[in-house]
Structure 1
Amino acid sequence: MIRRAVLLAGLALLGLGAWSDAPPPWEVLREASTIEMSVRAFGGSHRGRFEDWRGDVAFDPDAPSRTRATIVVQAGSLKMNASAVTGRAIGPGFLDARRHPTIRFQLRSLESAGGDRYTARAEVTMKGQTRPVTFPVDLRVTGDRAHLTGAFTLDRTDFGIGTSGAWNRMVGREVTVRVALQARRL
């Protein structure tokens, strides 16, 4: 029993040591942040906004390359600018929110591009498919607040979104995702 307690205590200390090397956690301020998307369809541009998501961020302003973030979006929370389009966008032919309720964004690193500009390297998972994305972001840090903005483009067919039926020909393959995140150092 004593040997087991010592072993558990040792493992706990090792875990704490590993955590101390991680960048400090930040709280994403959802009320000041947005995740939006746009796609060309039916001769025009259609925009949408994800209303339900959460984010976990570990960030050190002095070592941005160690930044890690996970954003989990509820696919069914997408609200399109034309409400008649919302049901189709989250339905079985596109996001299929009932069978695939979450979209996951996993930031792996930020690489300095000079000043407040960075290159983000991440992975996006939708409908069981994971694809890498690399895109420019602006990141400003003022005191205990950080504000990140950026956008990337995905090919919806890489994720099996809208790949069959008549709608496939009427909706553009490129989907642009725009993020504006604010966070506070914990």
Structure 2
Amino acid sequence: FDPDDWASARLDVTVPLHRTDLGDAKWNEATLARNLLDAERFPDAHFVSTQVEASGENHAKVTGNLTLHGVTRPVTLDVTLNALKRHPLPPFRRTAGFSATATLSRAEFGIDAWKSMIG
């Protein structure tokens, strides 16, 4: 990653949904159940970037395709570079830390249970 050339960055991330932690075991279970994320049939969320555009110091808009619940849709992530420094443990490689947010419509991914309660 080159912080002076965000446009050259690429992102390909797979998130195992069973690792989801919403802070409550029962809510985790309900979210992963068949009528919502259906993590048994669709165990991963997968995002692949198609464009990265700097949007200020340490920030970027990362546009790409998110596959969730078997459906692939375009999504834009608001990304923050939190740190770029040498890792403290051997082999002491340069390490980057990022956070990202996005707002999704679960209905666009075919997840439509509990519309009146969750939105």
**TM-score bracket for this pair, using the shorter chain length:** 0.7 to 0.9
Structure possessing the higher radius of gyration over alpha carbons = 1
Cα 1:120–1:168 change in 2 (3 A) is: same
Please tell me the root mean square deviation across aligned C-alpha atoms, in Å: 1.9
- What number of residue pairs does the alignment pair up? 111
Secondary structure at the counterpart of residue 103 of structure 2: strand
Higher share of residues assigned strand: 1
Match of 1:123 in 2: 65
Q: Deviations over 1:14-68 (max 9, x none)?
A: xxxxxxxxxxxxxxxxxxxxxxxxxxxxxxxxxxxxxxxxxxxxx3334221211
Alignment of 1:108-119 (within 5 A): 108-119=50-61
Given that 1:122 and 1:132 are in contact with CA atoms closer than 8 Å, whether structure 2 keeps it comes out as yes
Matched-pair identity in %: 30
List alignment gaps of at least 5 residues for structure 2.
87-93
Equivalent positions of 1:37-186 (< 5 A) are 59-139=1-81, 140-142=83-85, 144-161=94-111, 163-164=112-113, 167-172=114-119
Q: Using the alignment, how far apart are the partners of 2:61 and 2:52 within structure 1?
A: 6
How many angstroms does 1:158 deviate by? 0.7
Task: Name the TM-score, length of structure 1 as normaliser.
Answer: 0.53
Q: Distance in 2 between matches of 1:118 and 1:152?
A: 12
Structure 1 residue ranges without an equivalent (≥5) = 1-58, 173-186
| TM-score, normalization by structure 2 | 0.79
Q: Name the SS for the 2:65 alignment partner.
A: strand
- Shift of residue 111 of structure 1? 1.0
Where is the helix percentage greater, Structure 1 or Structure 2? 1
